[in-house]
Amino acid sequence: MRHSNRARASSEKHGNRQKAGAQGPGKAYWLFGTHAVSAAIRNKNRTILQVLATEDAASALRKTSGTPGGPIRVEIGLLDPRSLPPGLAERAVHQGLVAQVLPLPEPDAALLEDPTTRLVVVLDQVTDPQNIGTILRNCAVFGVDAVVAPRHHTPRETGALAKAASGALEIVPVIRVANLSRTIDRMKKAGFFVVGLDGNAQTAIADYAPLGRCALVAGAEGSGLRRLVSENCDATAALPVAERARAGGVDSLNVGVAIAVALHELVRHQ
């Protein structure tokens, strides 16, 4: 699939375009679940402090995460599901596999000016970790090269966010910026066409496809895009909503679903 190829290319750029010596904010935390931990082990830029697994999970991990003819790059300790390590929530759906890690290094914002960066998602104060994780997973599938979000209005890395991302946290660079409007200006100067999702827009998102370099901007559920961010977009676009749904007061989607639908429209003709 083309989407998978784009996701691999994004992962390679993620590994090569980190700020020198820049460590993501925050202390060590626990990843949990098969996809999140396996993806972290494969990511050479992820600092892993320890991996714990049940015997069955460890056996499965060695089969899926090792290099041909060689072991995986970390030692695996024994996880007792009845006595989880401190800092790991008892309700965490760990599937017998957890890893204590440091936050990822911050991607270099210069990635946005790299000519091979073609598709970017911009988040305007989307603060729910579950939504962020889902969005990252969608972005990985559709080959998004980077996600841009405000530094002070975006949740930090957590195990729950990584679990929702199902491995995509290790693939899609998340560029945190001080000022979203200025960053959008910078992207426009770099040749991006910036489209904001707005349920009140008169133009459908499909009318803008296909595009060359594109940045898709989405706001928080309920409040949507902030005024200055919306005004700074080249255009705003809406997703189609059935009249029966509108009449019943159902006129919007979860932000993660809305981004997935919009990305599908933007990339399906490429």
Average pLDDT over residues 247-253: 82
Dihedral class, residue 191 (left if φ above 0, else alpha if ψ from -120 to 50, else beta): left
pLDDT of the residue at 135: 98
Q: What is the pLDDT of residues 55-105, one digit of tens each?
A: 999 888 887 765 444 456 678 999 998 888 988 887 889 999 999 999 999
Cβ atoms within 10 A of the Cβ of 248, count?
Answer: 9
Q: Which residues contact 16 (CB under 8 A, 6 or more apart)?
A: none
pLDDT of the residue at 30: 96
Does the pLDDT at position 2 exceed 80?
Answer: no
Residue 169: which pLDDT band, with cuts at 50, 70 and 90? very high
Paired residues of 121 in beta bridges: 147, 216
Does the pLDDT at position 139 exceed 90?
Answer: yes
Residue 22: which pLDDT band, with cuts at 50, 70 and 90? very low
Domain that holds residue 189: 109-267
**What's the rounded Cα separation, in Å, for the pair 178 and 80?**
42
pLDDT of the residue at 74: 79
User: Quick one: 199 and 168 in the same domain?
Assistant: yes
Inside any domain, residue 260: yes
Let me know: does 144 contact 174? Beta carbons within 8 Å. no
Domain boundary among 79, 101, 123: 101
Q: What is the reported pTM? A: 0.86
Dihedral class, residue 166 (left if φ above 0, else alpha if ψ from -120 to 50, else beta): left
Number of compact structural domains in the chain: 2
Domain boundary among 43, 77, 101: 101
User: Quick one: 211 and 146 in the same domain?
Assistant: yes
